[in-house]
Amino acid sequence: MGYRVGLTTTIPVEVIYAAGCVPVDLNNLFITDPHPGALVEEAELAGYPRNLCAWIKGIYGAVMKHSDIRVLVAVTQGDCSNTHALMETLELAGIKVIPFAYPFDRDRDLLKLQIEKLMAHFGVDWPSVERARERLDAVRRKVWVIDRLTWEENLVSGWENHLYQVNCSDFKGDPDAFEREVDEFLARARERSPRREEIRLAYIGVPPIMDDLYDYLEERGARVVFNETQRQFTLPYAAADLVERYRLYTYPYGIFYRLEDILREIARRGVHGVIHYAQSFCFRQIEDLIVRQKIRLPVLTLEGDKPGRLDARTRMRLDAFLDMLR
């Protein structure tokens, strides 16, 4: 196995696997740390402002903690403008940063060029990248089944749906081991009786920084049956061509393209209400006004700041939203 390569968000991870390296989604590394709050504090001690998104600070703290990650691929367009300053501070700390840009207008030629530049950096060719895609697609297809069992057969919880899909950004660094986990989960889930929550919810926006949202909703008779961004990490469209896959992937390409997918899925999944998660200090909060105009269902905009549990105010807002939906 080669060295570990950090990722600031989903990139064509096939390139990293084709090079024999191990991708590490830095968001997952941060949020699964035993003390994610301490990683945020670490960044603040280093000089990161208090009024900046905790995901960025957590990624910085995670890279500083894991000294075996010396190379990372940073998405400079299509994810987060804060990534630019993150890259610079990490470069200052001696980390090699490789930029990757999703073209704003989903231009196929530009996207192909970006992927080929990444391939040149890692010294891999198209046949090896295609082989990696076929391997990863086999795992992705199984995770699509988890998603279908969530909304169509009601056998999977919102948190489980979140977890398996979010891990498709890096396949936990070991697709074989991750596939075994997925297989075991699928076998268990198929043995279950269907769940009976009366309210079906969509969760849109970046993944939540708090870890008890899904459980809280389920304790109150509601379940998330559509996790928008997490599902995108599984590249849920079945085109065979790698460039096309990352062109159809909605997350990096602006709210109107994302909304096409959101509206299609909330109709297909029989959703009653939508939770739009907006991270504190995130530019994506501005898009909430577009979301509210375009979605013809009740929308609750939820804001999270630091990692941890739901605060009392957020719980009350969730309770009121569920009461209203009832």
Binding site for ligand SF4 (CB under 6 A): 53, 55-56, 79-80, 82, 206, 279, 282, 284
User: What is the rounded distance in angstroms from the CA atom of residue 95 to the CA atom of residue 93?
Assistant: 6
Taking the complex as a whole, the smallest distance from the CB of residue 282 to ligand SF4 amounts, in Å, to: 3
How many C-beta neighbours within 10 Å does residue 323 have? Answer: 9
Taking the complex as a whole, the smallest distance from the CB of residue 79 to ligand SF4 amounts, in Å, to: 6
User: What is the rounded distance in angstroms from the CA atom of residue 235 to the CA atom of residue 261?
Assistant: 12
How many C-beta neighbours within 10 Å does residue 265 have? Answer: 20
Buried b (16+ CB within 10 A) or exposed e, 186-196: beebeeeeeee
Q: Which is nearer to ligand SF4, 11 or 206 (CB)?
A: 206
Sign of CA dihedral 172, 176, 181, 185: positive
Taking the complex as a whole, the smallest distance from the CB of residue 256 to ligand SF4 amounts, in Å, to: 17
How many C-beta neighbours within 10 Å does residue 68 have? Answer: 8
Q: Which is nearer to ligand SF4, 23 or 304 (CB)?
A: 304
Residue that has been written with the tokens 């945020």 in this structure: 40
Q: Which is nearer to ligand SF4, 83 or 234 (CB)?
A: 83
Taking the complex as a whole, the smallest distance from the CB of residue 259 to ligand SF4 amounts, in Å, to: 17
Taking the complex as a whole, the smallest distance from the CB of residue 53 to ligand SF4 amounts, in Å, to: 3
User: What is the rounded distance in angstroms from the CA atom of residue 180 to the CA atom of residue 272?
Assistant: 34
Taking the complex as a whole, the smallest distance from the CB of residue 280 to ligand SF4 amounts, in Å, to: 9
Q: Which is nearer to ligand SF4, 82 or 169 (CB)?
A: 82
Q: Which is nearer to ligand SF4, 14 or 287 (CB)?
A: 287
SS3 category, 1: coil
Residue that has been written with the tokens 């190379």 in this structure: 71
Taking the complex as a whole, the smallest distance from the CB of residue 80 to ligand SF4 amounts, in Å, to: 3
SS3 category, 21: coil
From 205, 204, 193, select the one nearest 271 (Cα to Cα): 204
Cα dist from 260 to 71, 292, 295, whole Å: 35, 14, 10
Give alpha helix (H) positions in 4-78.
13-18, 26-31, 36-46, 54-65
Q: Which is nearer to ligand SF4, 216 or 281 (CB)?
A: 281
CB 74 within 8 A of CB 86: yes
Q: Which is nearer to ligand SF4, 53 or 156 (CB)?
A: 53
Which tokens sit at 57?
């600070």
Taking the complex as a whole, the smallest distance from the CB of residue 81 to ligand SF4 amounts, in Å, to: 7
From 239, 243, 214, select the one nearest 226 (Cα to Cα): 214
Q: Which is nearer to ligand SF4, 82 or 232 (CB)?
A: 82
